[in-house]
Structure 1
Amino acid sequence: MPYQEEQNYETYQETADWLLSRTKYRPKVAIICGSGLGMLVEALANQEIFKYTDVPNFPQSTVQGHTGQLVFGELKGKACVCMQGRFHMFEGYPLVKVTFPVRVFHLLGVEVLIVTNAAGSIADGYNTGDIMIIKDHINLPGLAGQHPLRGPNDERFGPRFPCMSDVYDRALGKLALGISRELDFSNYTHEGVYCMVGGPSFETIAEARLLHKLGVDAVGMSTVPEVTVARHCGLQVFGLSLITNKVTMEYDSNEVVDHEAVLSIGKKRARLLQSLVTELVARMELNPTANVQVKK
């Protein structure tokens, strides 16, 4: 079966071995850059770059704002790898392909996954340009059966039924809130719940109102599959949403959301996100046998 073939452990190992044989880095931190946020990569020193088209078994980015390359380098003295462009279910990829890089990262020795995305605000009080630290998520496709762990389970990656009540690392979330205060942008930093929808269309007003009643603070079309697979593999996870638009919830509104506007806001706020992520990585203590620890 093609689906089972995609789950083949040896396929992930082949990709990991190819990368390890071509880079001097042994990254402990992986960062996935969302729409318009690829410039986060600029913080990496001594870069080694691999285009997705050159990496065996890797999918290809097709969405504007996603460059499509892996960038290895150093961030505050720590070896990191960045995905400058992610993959989405709406591009036609099965979720096992959307999450393919995460299992490769695990085999590279990555301990922490940092995910960023562009999202629309559902919560009252959020504004365009705000930053939301993700404290939890709602996996709407997953609840409907489109789940990245669906199919045969390989125990070498993780258990059949992984716990998801501790998805986002609380210590890292608390540290990030403190850093935002130190950097003087706590006024537009929040902590909230992210919801993934399938896309590629933006939400109808009725759908937005439903999400609001469910307790959703921000909505987007990514992140949750990668995070789910990361936790299945035992990685620690930290997530950030950049609020690039307010989701329309009134029928008499004339506001229209478009992808160009999303990319524009991403460019304006990327420097702040870069500062936050850089300082967060700087304060992580990483070692091969323990969870992430935070410097006091």
Structure 2
Amino acid sequence: MLGNSSSATEFFLLGFPGSQEVRRIFFVTFFFLYSVTVMGNTVIIITVCVSKHLQSPMYFFLGHLSVLEVLITSTAVPFMLWGLLLPNTQIISLAACAAQLYLYLSLSTSELALLGAMAVDHYMAVCNPLRYNIIMNSSTCIWVVIVSWVFGFLSEIWPVYATFQLTFCKSNVLDHFYCDRGQLLKVSCEDTLFTEFILFLMAVFIIIGPLIPTIVSYTYIISTILKIPSASGRRKSFSTCASHFTYVVIGFGSCFFLYVKPKQTQAAEYNKVASLLVLVVTPFLNPFIFTLWNDKFIQAFGDVLKRCYQLVKS
């Protein structure tokens, strides 16, 4: 505990409770999920960059989405694994805590913006195929990605700044595995009601903003697909959007549970589960969602493996 006149300069993260055996099980499980996440998304990035068959806006956005997934999960999971492997070592300075929270929130916001852009891209491909190549040219795709990244990193400056302007004098112990904003507000000795309300409004704007074009796009997409006379045509059109739609449901749903709540300082157990969904489970599912349903990507990946084998053989 800290005195009322002093503010914490470092925090101790409790991580996950339990015996040493339970911690080892957690470590093995999360290490496996993190390793598959990094390797799977790296495979997507390399395949999209190398394969000539995947030079389209959909795969260009998918490559950037995979980059974001690797970065997002890497902001917190390695530190969490270190804490599980060596208990009582999860001590983080105030500056490192601010950097971790800012990177995590900024990258997550950029990802939501990119998911909204991908929904519009699918709408153009299904509903306006004749104008698709004209509108979704390389210049447009590059600008969409740039705007997504800039929007993410600019929109989270004030929320993180406002959080770390508070005085943390109740305690320097955070009941979480990373610098969670709710836990930071909980250990502040100031009245955080107004700050929490503003953060709630900003979270609603950041999440609803990309969600609106996503919902509108898929409304038109589903309407257009249902009008296709042949079953094979409907199946082909739906398979193009199914992976992205599945990922949107998981991504936006978990963010709603985690951030769209007026009271940020609620149960730590709830926040831990929701954070694990965003930081561990969703990035882990990304390579499987976007590749297992995509015959074109699987074929391109097979071609890349053949080329690598020929290079090694020669």
Q: Normalising by the residue count of structure 1, what TM-score does the alignment of the two structures yield?
A: 0.27
Q: Which has the larger radius of gyration?
A: 2
Structure with greater strand percent: 1
Structure with more relative contact order (C-alpha pairs < 8 Å, separation 6 or more): 2
Q: Normalising by the residue count of structure 2, what TM-score does the alignment of the two structures yield?
A: 0.26
Structure with greater helix percent: 2
